[in-house]
Copies of this chain bind each other. A is one copy, B any other.
Amino acid sequence: MVDDQNITIDRESYEPAYAQLVRILIGQIAAGVFRPGDRLPSEAQLCERYGVSPMTVRRVVNILADQGLVTTERGRGTFVRPLELGTATFDLGRLQQLFRDEDQSTVKLLETRITSATERVARKLAIEAGDRTVFIRRLIFQGEEPMLLHREHVIYDPSRPIVEAEMEVTALRGLFSGGGGSDLKRGDLTIETTLLTEEEAALLHSEIGVPAFRLEHIFYDFEDQPVSWGWFICSGDRLRFTAAIGIP
């Protein structure tokens, strides 16, 4: 297995040549053939060794660099990167999965009412205090268990159809994993920690004072105007974020 001189690209395979070579090189790094700090064979050597064109090798090296496995240094070579904690990235896959299938999760609309923006809400939404906003509270269940509490302040503007769409229960699902939010340009998200309040604990079938995640979001339209500000609350013992670094 360490002697890999017989490994070649299978031109008959449905797996493209570049993908095969990516797999081969990652395998060799994982097997310790190339150690952190080591220089990979030059691109010309890889062309020769595996019988592919320079462009294909270039693409392969780009992919490895994008994945953080190697770094390229112009004029010197391509080197295997040592493990770095700072390269870890966490995603919302766990939450996204919650919204994937309609059977798995249900969304219950707790409250929706028109209010006057407080000073804090107005500042977040870049409007004047006292302007009308819509306040929405939702509870998202996984099966029978309440998983997420969602609070949201949406700018109330009858000329913008997004307000009506946002109040729809299904809008949340679309926003999370495709389809909805087609009038939104960008969003800012932050993850914080907090303690469950009495109200939150009751709704989430948990205890007051339990540590929880708070996922805050602001969405902007194509005029870069804030459209909604809100946050999800989830008991800490029902959610964790995971990431893997290095070679899988």
Binary interface profile of A, 177-205, with partner B (CB < 8 Å = 1, else 0)?
A: 11111111111111111110000000000
B243 A189 Cβ-Cβ under 8 A: yes
A95 contacts across to B, CB distance below 8 A? 85-86
Q: Which of A6-14, A40-48, A119-127, A210-218 contacts B (4 or more CB under 8 A)?
A: A210-218
Whole-angstrom distance from the CB of A193 to the nearest CB of chain B? 3
Q: Does A91 belong to the interface (CB within 8 Å)? A: yes
A-side interface mostly: mixed
Say yes or no: A245 contacts B85, CB within 8 Å: no
**Could you say which residues of chain B place their CB within 8 Å of the CB of A179?**
82
Q: Chain B: which residue is nearest A191 at the CB level?
A: B241
Contact A189 to B96, CB < 8 A, known contacts A36-B182, A84-B181, A211-B211:
no
Q: Mask for A217-248, Cβ within 8 A of B = 1, else 0? A: 10110100000000000001000111111111
A83 interface hit (Cβ, 8 Å) = yes
Find out whether the CB atom of A240 lies under 8 angstroms from the CB atom of B85: no
Q: How far is the CA of A227 from the CA of B191 in the complex (A)?
A: 30
- Which of chain B's residues have a CB closer than 8 A to the CB of A183? 36
Q: How far apart are the CA atoms of A88 and B66 in the complex, in Å?
A: 17
A190 touches B242 (CB 8 A): yes
In-complex Cβ contact of A93 among B86, B195, B244 (8 A): B86
Given contacts A86-B176, A175-B84, contact A213 B189 (CB under 8 A): no
B86–A89 CB distance below 8 A: no
- Most B Cβ at <10 Å: residue of A93, A191, A222: A191
**Min CB distance, A42 to chain B, in Å?**
22
Contact assessment for A83 and B181 in the assembled complex, using a CB-CB cutoff below 8 Å: yes
Could you write out 10 A-B pairs with CB less than 8 Å apart?
Answer: A82-B184, A83-B219, A85-B96, A85-B217, A86-B92, A89-B90, A185-B247, A189-B243, A193-B211, A211-B211
